Amino acid sequence: MKRSGILFFPAFDWSLGDTHPEREERLLYTQEQFFEEGVMELPQVKQYSPGLASIHEVLRTQALFPSPDQPDLTAHLIAAGSAIVLGEAWAQHEIQNGFALVRPPGHHSGATVLGNRGFCTLNNEAILVNHLRTKYGIKKIAIVDTDVHHGDGTQDIFYHDPQVLYVSLHQDGRTLYPGSGFTNEKGGPNAWDKTLNIPLPPGTGDEGIHYILEDWILPRLREFKPDLVINSAGQDNHFTDPLASMNVTARGYGKITELIRPDLAVLEGGYSIESALPYVNLAIFLALAGEDYSHVQEPQKPQRPLLNFQELKHYVKELKVNNKQANPHWTIREEKSLPAGKWAYIPHSVYYDTEGIQEIRQDRIRICNQCGGTVLIESQHASTGERFALIRIPFQACSTCRQAGEDLWEDFMGRKTSVLLQDQSQDLIQFWDVHEGVRSL
């Protein structure tokens, strides 16, 4: 038995559209299942009530452009705020672990936010992680993302952060949204090998996922020695998922949870709302609480043929080789317009599928062996042409990087539509735009 917290926030009055997968009905049957089973009454379980994240807590982790004053943010602020409530309970030792069973999800939402993508606007786990680092000084965090989709938003946020190990298991980006998460995405210059992507072939199944966890991910976690382990608990690996085809069962998810032993699990995707969610959520939470999940049984049986286990082992072996041999994908430049030092340059683009927005990004990271390195992200909304900049001074920044960040802030104000200074080391957020000038948020 483990003292486990649960924060159930199904947002029964919020949807992205009447027939959208992210609709009121999504956690309705999970509620029915949990309430009927009496899960909240287990003696070791405590239920928490939702919270509301502040804009400050959001901006510490993500830059909302063109401005943080956005409509339709409330449900997302509650999902992120609820993750924080549970994180607080964990940090205060009220609980040994917890499950934020909340919607809407967050792991496709990245360092810059121009809109909703993959149903996500705010990154619940990332906001939670940075809250706990700021308030409790927690140093090393591992995030294991078991959603079937690559958690590209979470990867984007922590790509240059050497203190955060991000591991994502997902169905290969060649066959599934968002089309990223390949083995060569291993982290930025100051955080190389702190991102681990394991793209899997369709039909991997329980045995396959458990094998990869035991053979690859758990050893990597042991090596990293995190102070906090977060599980982005997406449920779309289930064999009934309408979008993916990974063939994992509810009990398979229970075992995944038991293997990862997360301190905090946060719900991500999963849209088989009748056939999977009530059972998968139950198995995950029972596993967290140290209860028997072996009787959790979805009515349907897996039908698609499982991938041959020997083939999978072979595939994983090759992946490991690819991962090891992958080369950095940035160019190093000394740029006159930037503060002194070497800057890695990574141009790329981000597509916001919900609203059809294309974002053009130019990311620059100051190479530093003292700290995580100051990050400059220039962002452009492709259709409106608006330009934004995010300047991030990292947690435990060295004095040179701090100065570099402050110089960039002075320099960029006035040159863009809006600019955000995200000083994580001093928990200081400043926002500039042409209408209101500089605001401390």
Partner 1 sequence: MRPIEIQVGIDVGGTFTDAVLLKENVILEKAKIATRPDNLLGTVLQALEVLKIYHQPVAQITVSTTLITNAILQQRLPEVDLLLFPGSGMSLDSLTWPVSYQVLKGELDYRGREISPPDELEWRRLLNRYQEFPQAKVAIVGKFSHRNDLHEHNLALFLHKHCPDLDLSLGHEWGQANFYRRSLTAYLNLATSEIYQKFAEQLQQAVVQKGSSAQIFVLKADGGVLPLQKLRPVESIYSGPAASILGALAQSEPDQSFVVVDIGGTTTDIGLILSGEPLMSSHGAEIGSFSTLVRTLAVRSIPAGGDSTILSEGDGFKIAPYRRGPAYCLGGPAPTPTDAMRYLDLIPYGNRLKAEEGLAQLLPESFRDASHLQQLAEDILTRLADNIAEAVDSLNQEWREEPAYKVWEVLHPHDYHNLYIWVSGGGAPGLVNALGTRLHIPVRIGDYPEVSNAIGAALARPTFSCTLHLDTSMNRYRIEETGQQGEWLGSRKPHKEVEEFLQEIAEQIARDQGIELSDPLIQPFDFFPIVKGYQTVGQIVRGSLLVPPGVRGRLKP
**Which positions are catalytic?**
108
Determine if 192 is a binding residue for partner 1 (CB under 8 A).
no
Is residue 12 a contact residue for partner 1 (CB under 8 A)? yes
Interface with partner 1, residue 8, by CB under 8 A: yes
71 near partner 1, judged by CB under 8 A: no
Assess 37 for contact with partner 1 (CB under 8 A). Answer: yes
**Beta strands 375-381; 387-393: pairing state:** antiparallel
297 touches partner 1 (CB under 8 A): yes
Q: For the chain, how long is the longest CA-to-CA vector?
A: 65
* DSSP assigned state of 91: H
Region label for 11, one of left (φ > 0), alpha (ψ between -120 and 50) or beta (otherwise) = left
**How far out from the chain centre does Cα 241 lie?**
20
Stretch that binds partner 1, among 89-97, 139-147, 185-193, 294-302 (CB under 8 A): 294-302
Q: Calculate the CA dihedral of residues 136, 138, 141, 143 and round it to 10 degrees.
A: -10
> In the structure encoding, which two tokens stand for residue 212, read together?
């990869």
- Per the CB < 8 A criterion, the answer to whether 129 and 108 are in contact is no
Count the residues of the shown chain that bind partner 1, applying the rule CB under 8 A. Answer: 45
Q: Which is nearer to partner 1, 31 or 67 (CB)?
A: 31
Q: Which is nearer to partner 1, 12 or 192 (CB)?
A: 12
Q: How far is the CB of 138 from partner 1 (least distance, A)?
A: 25
Instruction: Tell whether residue 385 is a contact of partner 1 (CB under 8 A).
Output: no
31 near partner 1, judged by CB under 8 A: yes
Helix (H, G, I), strand (E, B) or coil at 356: coil
Q: Report, in Å, the least distance between residue 153 CB and partner 1.
A: 22
Q: What does the alpha-carbon distance between residue 144 and residue 140 come to, in Å, rounded to a whole number?
A: 13
Site string for partner 1, 325-364 (x = CB under 8 A): ----------------------------------------
Is 72 a binding residue for partner 1 by CB under 8 A? The answer is no
Strands 375-381 and 45-47: unpaired
254-to-86, 92, 248, 406, 436 alpha-carbon distances in Å: 20, 26, 10, 47, 50
Q: Is residue 101 involved in binding partner 1 (CB under 8 A)?
A: no
The answer to whether 149 and 119 are in contact (CB under 8 A) is no
Rounded to whole angstroms, the Cα distance separating 439 from 436 reads 7
User: Which residues, 264 to 283, sit near partner 1 by CB under 8 A?
Assistant: 274, 278, 282
- Cα–Cα distance, 303 to 272 (Å, whole number): 15
- The residue range among 18-26, 119-127, 342-350, 408-416 that interacts with partner 1, by the rule CB under 8 A, is 18-26
The smaller minimum CB distance to partner 1, of residues 11 and 398, is found at 11
Instruction: Kindly tell me which of 38 and 305 has the beta carbon lying closer to partner 1.
Output: 38
Q: Does 175 bind partner 1 (CB under 8 A)?
A: no
Which residue stretch of 8-16, 119-127, 211-219, 375-383 sits at the interface with partner 1 (rule: CB under 8 A)?
Answer: 8-16
Question: Does 295 help bind partner 1 (rule: CB under 8 A)?
Answer: yes
Binding status of residue 399 toward partner 1 by CB under 8 A:
no
Burial class from Cβ neighbours inside 10 Å (0-12, 13-18, 19+) for residue 127 reads buried
Report the distance separating Cα 60 and Cα 370, nearest Å.
21
47 binds partner 1 (CB under 8 A): yes
Q: Which stretch binds partner 1 (CB under 8 A): 22-30, 112-120, 136-144, 165-173?
A: 22-30
- Contacting residue, 71, 222, 223, 292, with partner 1 by CB under 8 A: 292
**Interaction between residue 9 and partner 1 (CB under 8 A):** yes
Stretch that binds partner 1, among 30-38, 57-65, 218-226, 399-407 (CB under 8 A): 30-38
The residue among 41 and 334 lying less far from partner 1, judged by its C-beta, is: 41
Angle made by CA atoms 292, 202, 165, in degrees to the nearest 5: 65
| 107: three-class secondary structure by DSSP | coil
Q: Which of 59, 64, 75, 198 binds partner 1 (CB under 8 A)?
A: 75
* Residue pair 118/25 in contact by the 8 Å Cβ criterion: no
Specify the DSSP class assigned to residue 200: E
The neighbouring-strand residues paired with 437 are 433
- The stretch among 89-97, 129-137, 290-298, 323-331 that binds partner 1 (CB under 8 A) is 290-298
**Cα dihedral 248/251/253/254 (nearest 10):** -170
Question: How far is the C-alpha of 25 from the C-alpha of 41, rounded, in Å?
Answer: 24
Judged by CB, which is closer to partner 1: 31, or 400? 31
- The amino acid occupying position 214 is E
Residue 42 touching partner 1 (CB under 8 A): yes
Which residues here bind partner 1, judged by CB under 8 A?
Answer: 8-14, 18-19, 23-25, 28-29, 31-33, 35-39, 41-43, 47-52, 74-75, 78, 274, 278, 282, 286, 291-292, 294-297, 299
